[in-house]
Every structure is written in C-alpha cells, then in structure tokens.
Chains A and B, each alone.
Chain A
C-alpha cells in the first residue's frame, strides 16, 4: 500500500502570511495531484504534476514535485481567508490508476 503523509495536519495563520505544506511518501508516483476541499463539498483539483522537479504556479499557490517523485510541497504566498480548507495530495501510477489520497492538511486563515 502506498501511503502519503501530509504535514502539518493542522495549520492556522494570519491573513497575509506565507505558508508551506508537505506531502511525503516512501513510494514513487507517476503523477501527483493537489486538491482543496471545503466543508460539505467534494475535493476540487488544483494542479497535477508529473515530472520530477516540476514547479507549477497557480496565482499565489506554488506546487513542487520532488526530484525523485516521492514528495511534493504547496507554498501559499500572502494567504487569504478564501484559502481556508482541507488540502489533499493524491498520487497515482501509470498502469494502476487508483488515486491514493494523503492524510490532509487542514488550513485556517484568520482575517
């Protein structure tokens, strides 16, 4: 079983601060996705990364896939209350397309 550990589990910061959350595994993944989930809703895709070392930016969010494709990070610049939610990483491999989700980071941005 491929496990994805996310840290921190909970994070509460003030509006305007920067933050980084992490997704780590002992297994290699062909691709890794990041989702955000708000209360009462299903997760919504933010980004997919497939190349080791890849960096993708989505406005104030920066995603990086580790060189060995075992880990990833999400950096948010100047956090806003709208960034509040549960952030989930999820990995899959070519040929076995079950998408395994990480343990999640619950982020709260305080106005």
Chain B
C-alpha cells in the first residue's frame, strides 16, 4: 500500500492567495483527519471525516479555512485568502476505525505539506 499521499509537499505563496492542499487516504479507511503542526501550538486537529462526512470541524481556525471530501479517496483543505500566520505543516491522516480502537484505531499520517505564506 502506498500509504497516505499528500500534495504538494512544499508550497510558498503570498498573502491573499488561495491555497489548496490535497490528500489521498489509504484505501478502505473510513476516517480522515486534517492536522496543522507548528512549533508554538504543536499538532492541532482541524477537522475529521467519517465515511466522507465531516464530523467535527471545531478546530478550523476561521471561515478562511474549508475542507471537503467528495469521495472516499480524496480530500482537500483550502485556505482563502491565506495569511502569514497560516504558515505551518499540514498533515492528513487516515484510520480504519476510530482512534479509541486498540488494534484498528491507528492513524496513518502522510508526509505533510509545508506551507509558507509570505
């Protein structure tokens, strides 16, 4: 299995531009998570989906952020307009079952998308 695939790996953009981050989860995984990681705030959950349906988006910073999962094999995280404080590494992760399940709740992370907003 190829694992969770994220693109782009690196993105440098200017303030005000639209940014779209993409994620392909592991086939058969029902849960998909978007996290943001910074030195100051650590790893923060932005939103998670179950069977393509958004379950909890309380971590989405503000209306500039939106996430979609049109099908089981693809998700996007969009920032419009982007701001310098959005600079971070954005991770997508998928799991077969909820994290609380001992043997099947493991989150598999992608390699991340490093975003720099100038």
Contacts and interface: CB of A to CB of B under 8 A. Distances in A.
Given A88-B43, A104-B42, A42 B93 contact: yes
Contacts, number: 73
**Is chain A's interface secondary structure helix, strand, loop, or mixed overall?**
strand
- Interface band, chain B: 20 to 34
B28 interface: no
Interface in B56-80: 56, 59
Contact of B43 (A50, A93, A97, A101): A101
A42 B110 contact: yes
Interface of B: 4, 31, 33, 35, 42-45, 48, 50, 55-56, 59, 91, 93, 98-103, 105-107, 109-112
B112 A42 contact: yes
Nearest to B100: A31
